[in-house]
Structure 1
Amino acid sequence: MNEPPGTVTIEDVGPSQSATVVVLEPTPTDDPNDPLNWPKSRKTVNFVIASFYTLASFVLLDIGTVIWVDQNAELGISWANLNNSFAANLAGLAVGCILLVPFAIKYGRRSVYILSTAVQFATAIWNASLNSTGELLAVNVLSGLAGAVSEALVQMTIVDIFFVHQRASANGMYNLMVNTGAYLAPVAAGYCATAQGWRWIWWWTAIMLGLNLILFIFFFEESKYIPVLLSRPDEDVQTRTAAAAAAMETTKFPKQTSIEEGSLPTSVAPSASYTTKSYRERMAFITKTDNSLLEHIKRPLVVLIGFPAVTFTALVWGCFLSWFSILATTQSTYLAYPPYAYNASQIGLFSLPPFIGGVFGAALGGPVNDWYILWRAKRNNGIFEPETRLHLGIPAILATPLGILLFGLGLAWGWPWWSLALGSGIFGCAFTSIGACSLAYLSDCYQDIVGDALVGVAFVRNGLSTVFVFALTPWIEATGLVNMFIAVACIATGTLLSLIPMIMYGKRMRVWTATRYRAMAQLQPGARRI
């Protein structure tokens, strides 16, 4: 209780530093049904299905810009309305988390995953069949609402099943799936549209989402954990009360479970006092707790304003999505005109460089970050400070404006295609690395309110993008393409410079918010560390 939230011991360093062990944080219970105690195979199955969901969701959300030329020519949808459809999708994403994530906190992750996938499956079929501007706008709003939870629910799953020293790697994989859907899928979609017609990109997406729906129904286990207090039938009330108090004290001051460094722990041995759930129980559609839905709808705003780490993540992550949206929409619009005059498949190929950059960014923000925090903790008497997550985000302060300017100025001035590709590749690397670092940082600081925190982050992230995309056309008309990209690069640099004060003063801010955080954490179902 003397340390601020997020400051934990993750390495037990011996006197000679030769007997270093990794401390499992948060400390798992003795219950075999605790997701932290699941064997590696069960964790892998759950996370692979959630990662596939992320991929399928972002494929649905991001391949549409590739076929704007075809929809403009065949259906007569104006470029302004095509741009508005993208903004409508972002608006749906902003609102969807506020409406759906509280249900995941109260009723469990599994039911929300299944409902979200089912609705997205239906919108993919609708996209393949639409014929008017009104349908295009409506289906984008609906797909945004349904796909919004992909920006919060997967991080909640990561917190449910992984330890602190594994979360950046998991977030790196999440961001790699985001990049695959956002960048690599448009490449395939472009070729598909050229070979089979633009409607077929949606039929293939529907097949992906249908497969994902089947996997969720039959193989995805509920990862929301509700702690169980054991007592014998012959115990009296006073004894059971004392046992419950002791259990609560153990939750607040957990014992340190540790393993030898390098063995990559995934669980600890469960106790024989608990009964393992059956397959039917593990696949329950609803896992309900008594927390208030209304509170979880209101609380994200309080968390967003009252916790600097949440505000920082929302601002940085939100601005990055805005820059991604600007690059995606200008790419789809201007590459169709001279001097490039590219078709759908050629425009789709321009999503390949940021994907390649994103692979490097996912490695830097994921596994390399997890290794780095263990290395730093060893030199800090085994104590982990979440701000060390942000150290590897510093290169993005220079890389982000460099990538934006290379792409934007090159597009405006008709530079060779490779200069645009280089710029978007640099941006993709920075985008993915910052995403993994900032999301892992937020999860490490306030793990017991991460659901509420991520709702606020997703709202700001998509809300900012909606504003920028709606304003993009008049912005370009007023200032020109060159000045617009220069302004974006300057804003991006200013936003990313906030990394420095967060690294320097982040712990002090966590101290200031410790009491407020612990009060909120006590209201969460299954809070582990208060």
Structure 2
Amino acid sequence: MLDDEKVDLFSYHELRAGRLVIDPEQAKVELGEVLYSKLKLTADGTKVLWPQPTDDPNDPQNWSDRRKAVQLIVITLASFIPDFDSGIGIAALFPLSVQFNTTTGVINNLTSNWSVFLLGWGGILSVMLMRRFGRLPVLFWSQILALGFLIGATFAPNLKTFAAMRCLTGFIGSCPQVTGLYVITDIFPFHLQARKLNIWAAAFMLAPLVSPFAFGFLVARASWRWAYGTGCLYGAVVVLLIVFFMEETMYDRALKPIPPRPSTGLRYRVETLIGITGWKMAKYRASVAEVILAPLNVVWRPQFILVVVFEAMIFGFSLGVAVTNVVFLSSPPPLGFGFSQYAVAGTYGTPIVAVILGELTGRFLNDWIMNVSIRRNNGVFEAESRLWATYISVPLYVCGFLALGAGIQHTIKAAVIMGWGIAMFALMINTVVVYAYCNDSFPGQQGEISALLTLARTLGGFAVAYFQVPWATKVGALETFGVEAAIVFGLFVVAVPITQLKGRYFRERFSI
């Protein structure tokens, strides 16, 4: 039984990292009658709400469903931008090599690979700023600057300028991919978060595939600058959506007393957007030293590092495929298929459909696993139950990669299409599972875990483009993709069972 005087229900979910009482009857047993009487439940009374909403109408947990949906839509559209902009270079790879009188390898290494690499590091900086100044101003200014750098890439007169603009776009523009997890946990209760994570994660999963698909057809008929110009238009639309519809979701519920808003009405809206409100509120929040050290405080935790290394490889190899497949498909036999620009663009339609199917499957699969786990565990949710979905995703991923490698080596079109699709379907399910597990295990560090996961998957992926094509040329694509699949499977065998068996101990011993 807990001491009623010492328990703060508004921050209780952070203290019980990875273990939450969801069933009201079990909550009555664990928390006692007094605390139970203070709990707020779902409208149907079947689940305890975590985090517990306050009585303040400004608390994002109390917003209407429509208001929450608008925030999710805007942050999802914004999260599409970083990898979408990076993927434009895949579609424009051959035209860029002609424009700047160099090889496709130089273009890939100098622009695409480095812009992917910098996506992860930019997310770390964004989280540090958001912990101090709020979600909205950092998101707004980062997208303004990213749009400016993308415009610079569109009109770049030479390769050096183009490469610099691409890299700056990637570094500055990555903010939405770490803001999304913050926004979802700020406005949605625990039992809905995995479902919303599916929607948000689908954006950055689809982004590097949609741009080669859409702009592959465009650059076949028009200049590559039109492709980047279209990316600028999309970025401008998202900036306008942020200005007019996005709201500050950061709510300092753990502070006692909760600081009042420094202004109201239109003035509050403008000051919050540009960062004045965040500047005023920073004195109540984590110090500069704390926000700088926070990622380091998370990264070494065993319940985090095991699954993150596993996710880095499974996502990284897939990201590398999105970059290098254009080379395999466009190159003449025996290395590739000799496809036209139109045919290459068309092949990217398969992984797009696969990601959408993975999102739909994962949405119901994660909820089903969560509900079954709660029932079997007497109304209590344990974070490690999330990982059961990886036992479905990893075997599918291995099969997909083997089919993809065999298809490329023996120039079997159907094998390439099916293998790529199966791998991306599996990746979509796996990525959401890892994000959800880490989010459950570190409920007070959503920004840090999101930034570190983004960094891990970009570090795992940017280097693949350097070695995958030369390796496949030397030993064959089947061996190349087979070894990559074996690495993923080996990490899965090590990371997931250990985390499931020892996860509760890790959380009790190493939680923040």
Fold match (TM-score > 0.5): yes
In 2, Cα distance between equivalents of 1:453 and 1:376: 24
Q: List aligned pairs for 1:300-311, cutoff 5 A.
A: 300-305=295-300, 307-311=301-305
Contact residue 322 and residue 464 of structure 1 kept, 8 A? yes
In 1, Cα distance between equivalents of 2:374 and 2:120: 36
Q: List aligned pairs for 1:342-361, cutoff 5 A.
A: 342-361=339-358
1:238-263: per-residue Cα shift (whole Å, max 9, x none)? xxxxxx5xx79xxxxxxxxxxxxxxx
Aligned match for 1:49, one of 68, 74, 90 = 74
Look up the match of 1:9.
21
- SS of the residue corresponding to residue 32 of structure 1 reads coil
Aligned match for 2:489, one of 487, 493, 498 = 493
Q: List aligned pairs for 1:139-178, cutoff 5 A.
A: 139-178=165-204
Residue 452 of structure 1 pairs with residue 448 of structure 2 = yes
Look up the match of 2:7.
none
1:341-364: per-residue Cα shift (whole Å, max 9, x none)? 222232122221111111122123
Residue 201 of structure 1 pairs with residue 227 of structure 2 = yes
User: How far 1:39 sits from its partner (Å)?
Assistant: 0.9
1:392-433: per-residue Cα shift (whole Å, max 9, x none)? 221112111111111122112211x22111001101111111
Amino acid at match of 1:11: D
User: How far 1:13 sits from its partner (Å)?
Assistant: 4.9
- SS of the residue corresponding to residue 447 of structure 1 reads coil
Contact residue 189 and residue 201 of structure 1 kept, 8 A? yes
Residue 297 of structure 1 pairs with residue 292 of structure 2 = yes
Aligned match for 1:328, one of 310, 322, 327 = 322
- SS of the residue corresponding to residue 33 of structure 1 reads coil
Look up the match of 1:374.
371
In 1, Cα distance between equivalents of 2:291 and 2:57: 29
Residue 466 of structure 1 pairs with residue 429 of structure 2 = no
User: How far 1:35 sits from its partner (Å)?
Assistant: 0.8
Residue 363 of structure 1 pairs with residue 363 of structure 2 = no
In 1, Cα distance between equivalents of 2:94 and 2:313: 27
TM-score, normalised via structure 2 length: 0.85
In 2, Cα distance between equivalents of 1:105 and 1:275: 18
Contact residue 77 and residue 133 of structure 1 kept, 8 A? no
User: How far 1:508 sits from its partner (Å)?
Assistant: 1.8
Amino acid at match of 1:91: F
Aligned match for 1:281, one of 243, 268, 273 = 268
- SS of the residue corresponding to residue 48 of structure 2 reads strand
Look up the match of 1:270.
none
Look up the match of 2:385.
388
Look up the match of 1:265.
none
Alpha-carbon distance change, 293 to 436 in structure 1, aligned in 2, over 3 angstroms: same
- SS of the residue corresponding to residue 211 of structure 2 reads helix
Contact residue 126 and residue 175 of structure 2 kept, 8 A? yes
Amino acid at match of 1:144: G
1:269-302: per-residue Cα shift (whole Å, max 9, x none)? xxxx999953542451322323223432232123
Task: Give the count of matched residue pairs.
Answer: 470
1:288-319: per-residue Cα shift (whole Å, max 9, x none)? 323223432232123101x2232134213321
List alignment gaps of at least 5 residues for structure 2: 3-14, 29-43
1:445-488: per-residue Cα shift (whole Å, max 9, x none)? 11112222223222222223233333445544654433322211
Give RMSD over aligned pairs.
2.6
Residue 406 of structure 1 pairs with residue 418 of structure 2 = no
Look up the match of 1:433.
429
Amino acid at match of 1:462: T
Alpha-carbon distance change, 115 to 343 in structure 1, aligned in 2, over 3 angstroms: farther
Residue 27 of structure 1 pairs with residue 52 of structure 2 = yes
Amino acid at match of 1:509: F
In 2, Cα distance between equivalents of 1:465 and 1:390: 22
TM-score, normalised via structure 1 length: 0.83
In 1, Cα distance between equivalents of 2:254 and 2:327: 56
Alpha-carbon distance change, 25 to 227 in structure 1, aligned in 2, over 3 angstroms: closer
In 1, Cα distance between equivalents of 2:380 and 2:364: 19
Look up the match of 1:266.
none
Q: List aligned pairs for 1:136-285, cutoff 5 A.
A: 136-227=162-253, 278-283=265-270, 284-285=272-273
Identity %: 23
In 1, Cα distance between equivalents of 2:506 and 2:107: 43
Alpha-carbon distance change, 336 to 131 in structure 1, aligned in 2, over 3 angstroms: farther
Amino acid at match of 1:25: W
- SS of the residue corresponding to residue 24 of structure 1 reads coil
User: How far 1:211 sits from its partner (Å)?
Assistant: 0.8
Look up the match of 1:117.
143
